[in-house]
Structure 1
Amino acid sequence: MALHEQSHQALSSRRRTAILVMGDAVALLIFAAIGRASHGEEAGLTALAQVAETAAPFMIGWFAVAPLFGAYRAHVTGAPLRMLASTALTWLIAWPVGLGLRALIRQTSIPLSFALVTFITVLTMMALWRGAFALIAAKRS
């Protein structure tokens, strides 16, 4: 493989990963904003710092686990079924990490209803966004 082609692939890989990281962060911020709004808390652009604070434990959990479970690997991100499987596995592991961090930070327990709503909502949001990304990436290949 020519040096130029290798550097183009490396740039493309970095760009793909950057887009995925930004999209994952946005999805988790939207989840936090929806949750805050559903509890009557500020959730608009003027409350971005509070939304980010709410999302932080789940972002830490996701971004700590995602690279370990291949959520950003090219062979995963360009194949919709692999992407969905990787996303589900990553969230299954990141979810209790985020819940635990949230409980530690807030010094509270974790209601089962909150845990289940968080699991289902974030999994749905991540699967939709990341699945769409994988479909687009697969068509471009």
Structure 2
Amino acid sequence: MKKYLLALLLDAVLVVVFCAIGRSSHGEANALAGLAGTAWPFLTGLAVGWIATLALYRDKFDALLIVPTGIVLWLSTLFVGMILRIASNQGTALSFIIVAGTVLAVFLLGWRAVAKALTRTAATRK
């Protein structure tokens, strides 16, 4: 269970980092409140993804798997995040959706790929 909480925390931190990078690249002011306003749709999408993955794969759930866990989390974070941004009158330009999808994929799938590689490396050393 501790491993899953750490995975959830890492996912959440990476989503906030994604939002912070985006805000920084656009020179947006009001740092903390602005970051919260930018992050909440994506964090909600991440939460929906975690709940969905746990419900769908409860007997075989593994937070470190790219498929299905990482893919479900990535797509949920992206699509629910964009829907909530539309609902809250935040921007969803096509270029933003492409960048968000790419960065979220690198973040949410990337750390899982690194973890898998490190686990395999450690297993082969034993």
**TM-score, length-normalised on structure 1?**
0.69
Q: Deviations over 1:74-123 (max 9, x none)?
A: 75235xxxx11221233223311110101211x25521111111111111
> Cα distance, 1:35 vs. partner?
0.3
Task: Give the CA RMSD over aligned residues.
Answer: 2.7
One-letter amino acid matched to 1:90? L
Structure 2 unaligned spans of 5+? none
One-letter amino acid matched to 1:62? L
One-letter amino acid matched to 2:21? I
Structure 1 unaligned spans of 5+? 1-12
Structure with the greater alpha carbon radius of gyration: 1
Q: 1:97: which partner in 2?
A: 80
Q: 1:124: which partner in 2?
A: 106
* Overall identity of the aligned pairs, in %: 29
Stretches (4+) displaced over 6 A:
71-74
1:1-141, aligned counterparts within 5 Å? 13=1, 15-42=2-29, 47-70=31-54, 75-77=61-63, 83-86=65-68, 87-105=70-88, 107-108=89-90, 110-136=92-118, 139=122
Using the alignment, how far apart are the partners of 1:72 and 1:23 within structure 2? Answer: 20
